[in-house]
Structure 1
């Protein structure tokens, strides 16, 4: 007869070995993982900025500079205004009986050209009357001179001694002076009448362009009334404003006939093909501009309408704004470079022995295109002209064609 097996007697021994084996396996896995991680970090290659700079030099463009004498340019904006402008007025009154075709806004007139004519009938009659009065005064003078001659003859016949006071009366000297005075007054009246008659013809006082006309044929005008505006065509001004800090770089005319600094004028939106005009810096106006609080200067342009020029220079338009490049005073012993090559904090990048050097510079003047370096650059220095992604003093550089070093 067989006996049943007691399973509960065996299970306790298997339960004691299982957890121990699991712990050992887990511990081994952890140790192996730690060893692998340590090995990976220990054998990983490292990359440093220093190694990269040593292996690959940056490609740059350079330009050699030299010290010398350079002339800076001060660029300003200005408005074109006439140097001679008048409001035409009448010195006599009457009706306009003639108007010249040239007396039209925009047309040009020559000096002395008749623009308007006022009805001269009244002035001609007045002149005739004044001339008649002059003839009468001259006749009275001749009669008085004859009477004085008779009085002198009578006095000589008497042969008597007469006091000096009575002598002048007997010889009719006061009457003679009165007659002469009446002649002089009549002559002055004739001259005034002639002037009034001449003033019925309104003429251009100088070569000019008609800007406006305020009367026409048949208008009744009075003395002093405005008839129109004229602007001289011989010369225009450019009224420009200049920062006060740049005034000492400009050379003005020291005398009316002495030329000032040359100026190049641009009107980019109007003049085709990059055409320019030339002018001269004439005068510093002793007053600041009300809006910008900058100094006002005058630039003179001769023949602004290009009437006497065969080169086809563009005509200037009154009231327009133009760009003026004023030649400044020369700078001696400086280096001139494009102003964009001056980097932050007034530094310049230099290539020295194939390495990058950051040079501090002292700037004497800056215009719209260039910077003029007084100190910090010398003859033969090679200035880097392109932008760099990384700027580190001492970084290795190379030029086109050198290849990788």
Structure 2
């Protein structure tokens, strides 16, 4: 009995000691951590940049393809054999307005003109004879009227008026025939209708050509068009040519390789009446003068070739007194973190007026002495104290031990 009591006392003692140890462990584990006084007062270092309102030019950026502004398939208006051909009438050749492209054998047309001139002389001869007959008929009519004053007679036939009208018509017909023959003779010279470049050619010396047959295709070189597509939402900002206003200025950029872009100046000249079929976008025509650099004094000028795919920046006006914000500084849509002279954060939510690839334009929402926070914070609350450092200085402070 005594042994049992002793064992019971021993076990009870162990339980009391174990419980006390567990309670002490829990007290130590859940005790509040002592935080150094300097750590409680530490504030976050943030990178800031100064902002100044400015007037910014707005550009609508789009892409497009270079197409001809003027294009024509040259067709002869008379038939015949080609007897001469311009040396420039080859693909890539350049011609000027009025320059002869092809000469069709004029011999038949010269003979026709000679015949028509002879027919005119014959018609005039018949007209002169009829005038003489008119004088005779007039005297005979006057004599008849004096002999038979009461007779009811038609003077038109007696005075040969129908014959006179016929003679006059024959003269006019012969004169018109001469004009036609002269026109056909002139058309044996096929000339360029405008300054252009030969895109296609299908005629040779000695070839028999028919009126209306295709001889070559020319594209005008004085100007090209860039057919640009852009969203309908941006169309309202583009000034179109019309009335007393000029079209918006545009700058065309062509990537010529190695990261180099060659610029051309252009003007928006026309809005097409239909939408682009794939993306349902509006289509504009931007005119570029002297795209091949023919009139340029720079020998190394890069030509803007048809079919080129180019970037086009179209002027869309100006925004006055706006802030230029890096896209990386936008928080949760359009929020900005601003720090004033009191080093406290203020959160602003301005309207985004315009977007660019790397920046956005917003109204001036700055208060006196405020700067823009450009670094990241896990949490930013209005009134939170921070240590603002200029962008470069903040990098150095962050690297200090």
Q: Per the shorter chain, which TM-score range?
A: 0.7 to 0.9
Distance 1:164 1:127 in 2: 49
Distance 2:42 2:293 in 1: 65
- Residues 274 and 21 (structure 1), Cα distance of their counterparts in 2 relative to 1, 3 Å cut: same
Q: Which residue of 2 aligns with 1:7?
A: none
Q: Contact 1:271 / 1:314 at 8 angstroms: preserved in 2? A: no
Cα displacement (A) at 1:136: 1.3
Q: Which residue of 1 aligns with 2:388?
A: 398
Distance 2:162 2:39 in 1: 120
Q: Contact 2:321 / 2:364 at 8 angstroms: preserved in 1? A: no
Distance 1:375 1:201 in 2: 68
SS at match of 2:317: coil
Cα displacement (A) at 1:239: 1.0
**Residues 202-222 of structure 1, C-alpha deviation per residue, up to 9 Å, x if partnerless?**
110111111111232333322
1:259 matches 2:246: yes
Cα displacement (A) at 1:43: 6.6
Cα displacement (A) at 1:172: 3.2
Residue of structure 1 aligned with 2:255, choices 263, 268, 280: 268
Residue of structure 2 aligned with 1:213, choices 194, 198, 201: 201
Residue of structure 1 aligned with 2:269, choices 275, 282, 290: 282
Q: Contact 2:43 / 2:385 at 8 angstroms: preserved in 1? A: no
356-365 vs 292-301, which moves further = 356-365
Cα displacement (A) at 1:391: 3.7
1:297 matches 2:275: no
Task: Give the paired residue count.
Answer: 389
Distance 1:253 1:90 in 2: 36
1:250 matches 2:235: no
- Residues 300 and 87 (structure 1), Cα distance of their counterparts in 2 relative to 1, 3 Å cut: same
**Residues 243-277 of structure 1, C-alpha deviation per residue, up to 9 Å, x if partnerless?**
1111111111223x742111111012359843311
- Residues 53 and 274 (structure 1), Cα distance of their counterparts in 2 relative to 1, 3 Å cut: farther
Cα displacement (A) at 1:296: 1.1
Cα displacement (A) at 1:295: 1.0
Distance 1:110 1:177 in 2: 48
RMSD, matched Cα: 3.5
Cα displacement (A) at 1:350: 1.5
Residue of structure 2 aligned with 1:120, choices 72, 90, 106: 106
Gaps of 5+ in 2: none
Q: Which residue of 1 aligns with 2:344?
A: 355
What pairs up with 1:82-231 in 2 under 5 angstroms?
A: 82-152=68-138, 160=146, 166-231=154-219
Task: Name which one, 1 or 2, has greater alpha-carbon Rg.
Answer: 1
Gaps of 5+ in 1: 1-11
Distance 1:269 1:19 in 2: 99
